[in-house]
Structure 1
Amino acid sequence: MHPLLRTIRRLGPSASSDGRCLLLLLPVAPLSSKASAAPPPEYEMPSVTWGVIQGRKERLVSRVLAIDFLRSAGVSDQAGELEAVELPSSLEVLQERLDFLLRLGLSTDDLSAYPLLLACSLRKNAIPVLSYLEKLGVTRARLAAFVRAYPACLHASVAVDLSPVVKSLRGLDVDRQDIPRVLERFPEVLGLKPDGTISTSVAYLVGIVGVAPRDIGPMVTHFPFFLGMRVGTTIKPLCEYIASLGLPMRILARILEKRPYILGYDLEETVKPNVEALLSFGVRKEMLPLVIAQYPSILGLPLKAKLAAQQYFFNLKLQIDPDGFARAIEKLPQLVSLHQNIILKPVEFLRGRGISNEDVARMIVRCPQILLLRNELMKNSLYFFKSEMKRPISELLDYPEYFTYSLESRIKPRYMRVATKGIRCSLDWFLNCSDQRFEERMRGDFIEGDAPGPSFTMGGKLQMPGSQLVSDDDNEESDDEVLYRRTVML
């Protein structure tokens, strides 16, 4: 008889109930070739997690009891996800997991939406992952929201899954203090492979589009979702389509560096219909690159409805026909998001100074930027024009861009230089040029004619009433979502 069997028999009946377990836990050499070919025993390899060895029948009974217990606690498993995972055989252990997740801030509805959370070991999964997230800077008060947004994180290994992703983010120049912000905005990033989707997306933007590597970190901070986008199906088609409209790829790169959220616009559902809407409302195809460069967010707006509403308003209140409206949109595409009561303020100011409705409409079509100006600034500039410059109002009607220049830093000093030299020139001649060019003109022996050029330029940035603009995405960063400043020319 085998020595191990003699030992069990010597222990007597008290050991008979545990004999099978002991045989499973200790290595036993096969007694013969016939024995080795026998079918596997009823009990499979026990799990050392619970310290309880169960057979098939016992496991079925335990699972039924566990499901009934969770159902009584308010957790449902309608999809049957728990059928394919191992649940603790002890209801006390299951109660401990349930209490822990509820104390974390999750609800029974959250657990019903993802019941696999109850299959996570607290010691091996939940506690190490949550402790790691807290160490990274995710506050305890926000852990519940984090798990609710990406519950699969509790199945991950800190060393194998989470830590490499965080190291990859740091390698992309994401500041350490911005890591929790990135994770909270896009918790699914923890499920990505650093050498897979993340590296492919970054490589395309840097190598093909031309995004500066130093700007990848800020892009990730403001819009981390592009790290999970497929290059072949999402990023590349969008970039190539925008470039096909005539926008140089290097300009697109500069736009993406400041507004990476554009990568999230759906090409077929949003971008292409918006381009078609611009064309259908009279915007010329050759002007599309300038429109996009000035206001990239126009590609993601519900544009057709906005254009229709603004065109009707311009025709009804400002007496500007559809063609004039299209020309104004080409020069200032932000008009589609400007509140109508803000538009009326400078219009009423000009009309109140005796300028006819027809002349006001012509001024707006030529220089729609005047619709963004505050009445106080326009009042001061008009007073100086009448009292000091003493020029006919017709010059102002022909060059409404005058209102967009700073009175103190450009209009006054340049006019004084021109008046001192006794030069008689147009407003365009001494205002619409750089400081260097103006000095050259002051040193010249003759006055050159006005050179043809853009219909509107200016010597600085134009302040826009950002708080009065319609914004369709209030969750984006202020520099990205709010139309606060713009530069008219590229």
Structure 2
Amino acid sequence: MQDTLPFLPKNKPFPPLFPSHHKHNDFSSLSRPRKLHFPTFSSKTITTTTPLPPKPHPKIPEVPSISPPLPPLNSHSDFQEKMLYLDSIGLDFFSLLQHHPPIITASLHDLKSTVDFLASRNFSTLEQRRILSMCPQILTTKPTSLLTVFTFLLREARVNGSDLKKVINRRPRLLTCNVETQLRPTLYFLQNIGICEVKKHTSLLSCSVENKLIPRMEYFQKIGFCYRQTISMFRRFPQLFNYSVKENYEPKLNYFVVEMGRDLREIKEFPQYFSFSLENRIKPRHQCCVEKGVCFPLHLLLKTTEVEFHNRLEVCCDSSLPFKGSPLWCTNNCDI
């Protein structure tokens, strides 16, 4: 067999891997730290060098403003002119500004245009003062928008021309409502539930269908009335939409059921019950009936005047028991 390493002389061992001065044939000496020699410097050899100038900070680019600039305020003279003009028609400028701040940026020309438009519709100075004090937003409403509201009331709500001023005086907020998004949808809603003559209840046109009208109808369905009964109540007495659930419905219904012990069917027949004062009309008259041992139908209990109520109460208490054919039979026996 041939030698695998022909470059080595024959019959000679391999040379040692490490020199002979290593006593141990291992790697321990390689792992020992060696002594390193660093040159030493004296204080004379150290020279001072000039420091490098500091690096300049990178300049942050300016970001352009996104918000639109504020509208310039009117001059001092224009401010005085508006104040004097509104004072000339009996309006307190600062009171209007507190309730409707955009008046400060409105021009004097726009304010005069609105007042002149109301005057052209035969509103007296006293009526304008009352309307604008109740609803200062009218002052910043353009005459073209006001004209749209007047046209809607006359043509779609069927308000008589002779009653138009009365409608606006009763509910000035109508002039600030948008016809497309508020007045017309409310008109359609009232007509759909059977209120045909909306012109008699124009104050409801400024109400929100989603936020005011529907929640009040849902309240009566929650306490036990079906949808048809609820519609019948509001159709019979549309002013029911104007009353608050927390301040009107709940306390009066609680007194009606708990203290008076009456049936809810009477509410369905006489929803005007909610239009009477609980403290000044309902409670005093009910307590008088309890003391006398008399039970009147709900409409006779509340709808009559004070004189008629007490006269009827005396008749029922002082007279003998009526015959069954008498109209007072149902009154004394609470058979409603």
Scaled by the length of structure 1, the TM-score of the pair is 0.45
Tell me by how many angstroms 1:421 deviates: 12
**For residue 268 of structure 2, what is the aligned residue in structure 1?**
365
Mapped pair 1:157 → 2:61:
no
**For residue 262 of structure 1, what is the aligned residue in structure 2?**
174
Match of 1:355 among 242, 262, 286: 262
User: Quick one: which amino acid aligns to residue 152 of structure 1?
Assistant: P
C-alpha offsets along residues 235-281 of structure 1, whole Å, 9 cap, x if unaligned?
A: 1111221233133345442343354333221111111111112222x
Match of 1:181 among 81, 87, 95: 95
Tell whether the 8 Å contact from 1:310 to 1:336 is kept in structure 2 after alignment.
no
User: Quick one: which amino acid aligns to residue 267 of structure 2?
Assistant: I
1:172-211 matches, within 5 Å, as 172-174=89-91, 178-194=92-108, 196-208=109-121, 210-211=122-123
Tell whether the 8 Å contact from 2:182 to 2:206 is kept in structure 1 after alignment.
yes
Are the structure 2 counterparts of residues 180 and 336 from structure 1 closer, same or farther at C-alpha, using a change threshold of 3 Å? closer
CA RMSD of aligned residues (A): 4.0
- Structure 2 counterpart SS, 1:211: coil
Tell me by how many angstroms 1:410 deviates: 5.6
**For residue 137 of structure 1, what is the aligned residue in structure 2?**
none
- Structure 2 counterpart SS, 1:247: coil
Q: Within 1, Cα distance between the matches of 2:273 and 2:257? A: 13
Match of 1:243 among 136, 142, 154: 154
Tell whether the 8 Å contact from 2:229 to 2:268 is kept in structure 1 after alignment.
no
- Structure 2 counterpart SS, 1:319: coil
C-alpha offsets along residues 2-57 of structure 1, whole Å, 9 cap, x if unaligned?
A: xxxxxxxxxxxxxxxxxxxxxxxxxxxxxxxxxxxxxxxxxxxxxxxxxxxxxxxx
Scaled by the length of structure 2, the TM-score of the pair is 0.62
Structure 2 residues not aligned, in runs of 5+: 1-58, 329-336
- Please state which structure has a larger fraction of its residues in helix: 1
1:231-310 matches, within 5 Å, as 231-232=143-144, 234-244=145-155, 245-257=157-169, 259-280=171-192, 282-286=193-197, 288-292=198-202, 296=203, 298-304=204-210, 306-310=212-216
Tell whether the 8 Å contact from 1:370 to 1:403 is kept in structure 2 after alignment.
yes
Mapped pair 1:114 → 2:69:
yes
**For residue 25 of structure 2, what is the aligned residue in structure 1?**
none
**For residue 27 of structure 2, what is the aligned residue in structure 1?**
none
Match of 2:85 among 156, 160, 168: 168
User: Quick one: which amino acid aligns to residue 78 of structure 1?
Assistant: S
Structure 1 residues not aligned, in runs of 5+: 1-67, 80-111, 116-150, 428-490
Q: Within 2, Cα distance between the matches of 1:224 and 1:354? A: 46
Are the structure 2 counterparts of residues 337 and 384 from structure 1 closer, same or farther at C-alpha, using a change threshold of 3 Å? closer
- Structure 2 counterpart SS, 1:275: helix
Q: Within 1, Cα distance between the matches of 2:210 and 2:102? A: 33
Matched positions, count: 262
Are the structure 2 counterparts of residues 187 and 290 from structure 1 closer, same or farther at C-alpha, using a change threshold of 3 Å? same
Q: Within 2, Cα distance between the matches of 1:170 and 1:215? A: 15
Q: Within 2, Cα distance between the matches of 1:180 and 1:157? A: 17
Are the structure 2 counterparts of residues 193 and 291 from structure 1 closer, same or farther at C-alpha, using a change threshold of 3 Å? same
Tell me by how many angstroms 1:364 deviates: 1.9
Tell me by how many angstroms 1:168 deviates: 1.9
1:392-407 matches, within 5 Å, as 393=295, 396-397=296-297, 399-400=298-299, 402-404=301-303, 407=306
Are the structure 2 counterparts of residues 171 and 374 from structure 1 closer, same or farther at C-alpha, using a change threshold of 3 Å? same
Q: Within 2, Cα distance between the matches of 1:223 and 1:243? A: 21
**For residue 64 of structure 1, what is the aligned residue in structure 2?**
none
- Structure 2 counterpart SS, 1:78: coil
Tell me by how many angstroms 1:203 deviates: 2.8
Mapped pair 1:380 → 2:284:
yes
Are the structure 2 counterparts of residues 354 and 306 from structure 1 closer, same or farther at C-alpha, using a change threshold of 3 Å? same
Tell me by how many angstroms 1:324 deviates: 4.5
C-alpha offsets along residues 156-215 of structure 1, whole Å, 9 cap, x if unaligned?
A: 3333x33332222122221xxx22122344454455454x4333322332332x433212
Q: Within 1, Cα distance between the matches of 2:319 and 2:123? A: 48
